[in-house]
Copies of this chain bind each other. A is one copy, B any other.
Amino acid sequence: MGKTALSVGVIGATGLVGQEMVEILDERRFPVASLHPFASEHSAGATLSFQNKDVSVKALRIGEKDVFAGLDLVLGATDSKLARAWVPLAVSAGCLVIDNSSAFRMEADVPLVIPEVNGHLLSSRHHLIANPNCSTAQLVMVLKPLHDAAILRRVSVTTFQSVSGTGKAAVDELMYQTQAILSFKEAKREVYQQQIAFNCIVDWPCDPITGDSEEETKIIAETRKILDIAQLPVFATTVRVPVLRSHAESVHIETEKRLSANEARAILAAAPGITVYDDPKRKIYPTPLDVVGQDNVYVGRVREDHAGGIYLWVVADNLRKGAALNAVQIAEYLLKGSNGRLS
């Protein structure tokens, strides 16, 4: 390719993550020569705004070939089923593909990358790079500097995940159900098995034998892969809460070298992409609402337990660092490492 401005495709461009990718490419002045948004047939005729111009969304039809020909970079923002259908075509067409779905994340030859954590894995020999799960991304951003400083011995996480992680229909469902309840009407369920308004639920599918949710399995496997610690004890429980955007995580860690809360805060404050927002004296800590639209991962409630471990409250915009932003940052990292040329 070797061009300094790229032809960029976005698969699933009308979804929450796809739209956020387009917005972030624009806002960060990513060198886009031409933007090619793709979506499913029911988005046919839609347009997106990019660099103050309307760009038509192209509908992807099964069986179609050559649709990605000539593109330099393709960002995937679909679910894993659609990713399995379209990503290989984009790779075959010679595009560099950064895919946000879970379809390829655990494949041995696919790097699973958070630039601040393991950007060194990125090289021009890869044609497919996987973007981590949203809950994993914000967790690992915080774990990495603490591991470098003190060596992680165990990690326990319980998530408070917003509905935007499930997609647009889930955001609509929370709003509709909430409105219905305030109007004493029935709160109909379509996206989630249980009512999400004024409730806390678990996403299905869960493994029928172990009971683990897909999200729990992903957090454990992806955290180990990104940190490159195959046997790291990671314990995860994932919960969906009636919040529109941004995920929060209650994290408890134990390290080989004992850290004080102040040491942990200092380590995190010095790490890239992290904002320590933590002062109990002044009632300061991050909530999901506070970080909507923010790029950084926010950490507060850094506390010592009675046994040498550390508690952390980790909050980030799931559509930004948890998805779209990280994908664009991977592309930026590759461009930077190759003096502005993807090849």
Contact = CB atoms under 8 A, between A and B. Distances in A.
Interface of A: 156, 158, 160, 175, 178-179, 182, 193-195, 198-202, 204, 206-212, 220, 233, 235, 237, 239, 241-244, 248, 250, 252, 261, 278, 280-281, 283, 285, 287-289, 301-307, 309, 311, 313
A244 to B, nearest CB: 5
Nearest to A208: B281
Given A211-B278, A211-B280, 4 more contacts: A200-B243, A212-B303, A237-B313, A241-B242
Contact of A160 (B179, B233, B239): B239
B211 A237 contact: no
Contact of A302 (B182, B198, B211, B248): B211
A235 B287 contact: no
For A193, A211, A212, which residue has the most chain B Cβ atoms within 10 angstroms?
A211
A252 B280 contact: no
A233 B303 contact: no
Copies held by the complex: 2
B237 A311 contact: yes
B280 A243 contact: no
A223 to B, nearest CB: 13
A211 B198 CA distance: 28
Contacts of A201: 287
For A207, A208, A235, A244, which residue has the most chain B Cβ atoms within 10 angstroms?
A235
A238 to B, nearest CB: 9
B202 A303 contact: no
Contacts of A158: 158, 237, 250
A291 to B, nearest CB: 11
Contacts of A248: 200, 239
25 contacts: A158-B158, A160-B160, A182-B182, A193-B283, A195-B287, A198-B289, A199-B287, A200-B243, A200-B288, A202-B301, A204-B283, A208-B280, A209-B280, A210-B303, A211-B278, A211-B280, A212-B303, A220-B306, A233-B306, A233-B307, A235-B252, A237-B250, A237-B252, A237-B313, A239-B250
A181 to B, nearest CB: 9
